Amino acid sequence: MTQNGEQVTQEGEFLHSSKQLMPEENRTSFSYFLNVEHLQQPSDSIKKRESVIQMIYLLKGSVELVSADGSEVYARIEAFQHNLLRFSPQLCHLVADKVKNRSYCIQLSESFLQRYLPQQHPLRQQLLQNAADDGPSLLFADNMYITPPIAVILHDLADFSQSNFCSQLILQSKVIHLLALQLQQFEQLQDIGQPSLLRKDDLEKMQQVRDILLEQSGAKLSLRTLAHMVGTNEFSLKRNFKQAFGTTVYGYLNQYKMERAKSLLLENVMSIAEISAQMGYKYPTHFSAAFKKHFGYLPNELNSSKL
């Protein structure tokens, strides 16, 4: 990350390889864009706004929220982390590093948040009643890690290409789901307190383990093998992975598989046997049993009148 990077606009109209899925006339509630790589100056419409609200998810690279003169860094989001920010584009802006960056940025309107945040929710004052004139507001003091359910939704967004009315409703449901998962993490922290973050090198190793798990989901890799592949030991792997992602190594993999399988089933474009094979199961019956154990119902009941 460099301080001399260019500014990110909040409209997404100039973004390289971006996906703008909301028609211009419907983007009052939220807008979504992907892969912030080539950055330019913010548009006049953004400069005139008092503040903007964004959910930001990083899979590769990093993004910083810096003051207008570049002298102060308010927030830094790195790979496999996410946060929700409110800031004034007149006082600060987003800066991305110049290496390949893979980020998901979802801009929310105040009316969108007001619709889904209860009147007495502590975040209403933090995100809606503060005008961000005295500096940015962050949902999490320390960024949270991307969990399997969040990762599955981001995966779906990357593949999302439809632009008809029904598709926009589906897209909106995914944005609401992401917001709900962020709020769930926020509320959990009220009970257990903010978790301590791993050292950067330990986090990078856990990210490597996560990548190996998802890329080789059909392979049977032991904890010892995974630990040796990233240069750590089995004890540190189990401890650090749980701290980074909130669950065990195999718990993360299983949750990701089940959430991804459910998403594919809802799309209704693949058979159960095809999804079973993609998830790394030799027999569809084994997949169905695992699916029922995770969700409480069989895969073939998801798109039927049985639920």
Residues, the chain: 307
The tens digit of pLDDT for each residue in 92-136 reads 888 887 667 788 888 888 888 888 887 777 777 677 665 545 678
Whether residue 210 contacts residue 221, with contact meaning beta carbons closer than 8 Å, is answered with no
0.95 cut: is pTM over it? no
Question: CA torsion sign, 158 to 85 to 54 to 184?
Answer: positive
Percent of the chain with pLDDT over 90: 13
Give the start-end residues of each E strand in 88-235: 92-96, 102-108, 137-138, 144-145
Sheet holding 73-78, edge to edge: 73-78, 62-67, 92-96
Average pLDDT over residues 235-262: 87
- Set out the domains of the chain in order of their start, with CATH numbers: 24-192 (2.60.120), 200-301 (1.10.10.60)
Interacting residues of 10 by C-beta distance below 8 A, sequence separation 6+ = 31, 42, 46, 49, 52, 54, 89, 107
Between 95-109, 176-190, 243-257, the lowest mean confidence (pLDDT) is in 95-109
Average pLDDT over residues 148-172: 78
What pLDDT, on the 0 to 100 scale, is given for residue 158? Answer: 75
* pLDDT tier for residue 285 given thresholds of 50, 70 and 90: very high
User: What tokens appear for 192 in the block?
Assistant: 């257990």
163 vs 165: CA distance, rounded Å: 7
The tens digit of pLDDT for each residue in 63-102 reads 889 888 888 899 989 888 899 998 888 888 888 876 677 8
Read out DSSP for 232-274?
Answer: --HHHHHHHHHHHHSS-HHHHHHHHHHHHHHHHHHHT-S-HHH
